[in-house]
A = this chain, B = another copy of it.
């Protein structure tokens, strides 16, 4: 089976990650996955949310938005409705949660890292591109925050991708046009060591069998391995500072 853009079912689109895309943020990347383009920035703020004050623990939070014409039809800005849409809320919670899972928040001290993911162009997979790009921006921000620390408080690499199911066939990294046709949409967020951080599978059309689910999972893992390699390559000298944090020894799942 060949796809509209010539890819095989288990092929990612071309991915490009440009670091230091903007001059002010502590970390910033432009990530392009096919025609999808997302700016991810990481901002270090010297305070924590109210409910963390005094805990000595930091926080990571994410916001997500699309330019009105990132899409084929113009989308009104969230501010016009007065509040973020349900979809926006879901995505920004996902991004924040995923990044927190690989960072030792207690090592941040009384700081919040703000992750901003702004979609310039949306051709499917914006939320997974946001996770993948935001991880790189986050590492750069932490590298700048802890210039003298060889090992950053990041347990592992982190990337995300999506898989769809079309007539029983898993398709990796869906474009917008493909996304509209599949019956199932699976998003997987995975670490460099292959552990799962978040898995979300939704029957857009019809429920799916356990076998179909396992097949999609396997294809997602293949794509994620490529993305994780790319991140390591792009991060250059900072890549070596990731994945070696051992401070919190009792943390389950990091015993390796």
- The reply on A200 being an interface residue by CB < 8 A is yes
Using Cβ atoms and an 8 Å threshold, which residues of chain B touch A93? 86, 90
Which residues does chain B contribute within 8 Å of A65, judged by CB atoms?
A: 77, 79
* A126 lies within 8 A of chain B by Cβ: no
Which residues of B have CB within 8 Å of A252? 167-168, 183, 205-206
Question: Which range holds the interface residue count of chain A?
Answer: 35 or more
| Contact assessment for A121 and B201 in the assembled complex, using a CB-CB cutoff below 8 Å | no
- Interface majority SS on A: helix, strand, loop or mixed? mixed
A3: Cβ under 8 A from any B Cβ: no
Counting CB contacts under 8 A, is A215 at the interface? no
Contacts of A83 in B (CB 8 A): 79, 82-83
* Alpha-carbon separation in the docked complex, A210 to B253 (Å): 12
| A45 contacts the other chain (CB 8 A) | yes
Query: Assuming the A-B contacts A24-B69, A68-B114, A90-B89, are A43 and B207 also in contact, with contact meaning beta carbons closer than 8 angstroms in the complex?
Result: no
CA distance A8 to B95 in the complex (A): 34
Asked whether A43 and B205 contact (CB < 8 A) given A69-B28, A183-B253, A199-B213, the answer is no
Contact pattern, A 147-190, Cβ under 8 Å of B = 1, otherwise 0: 00000000110000000000110000000000000010000001
A92 to chain B: which residues have CB within 8 Å? Answer: 86
Digitize A91-126: 1 where CB-to-B-CB distance is under 8 Å, 0 elsewhere.
011000100011000000000001010101100000
Docked complex Cα distance between A41 and B120 (Å): 11
Q: How far is the CA of A72 from the CA of B183 in the complex (A)?
A: 38
Contacts of A120 in B (CB 8 A): 22, 39
CB distance from A106 to the nearest CB of B (A): 13
Cα-based distance from A35 to B198 in the complex (angstroms): 28
Within 8 A of B (CB), among A191-239: 191, 193-203, 205-210, 213, 217
Seed contacts A65-B79, A97-B202, A205-B251; 15 additional CB < 8 Å A-B pairs: A22-B121, A23-B121, A24-B69, A24-B71, A28-B69, A41-B68, A43-B69, A63-B68, A67-B116, A79-B79, A168-B252, A190-B207, A195-B208, A197-B207, A198-B203
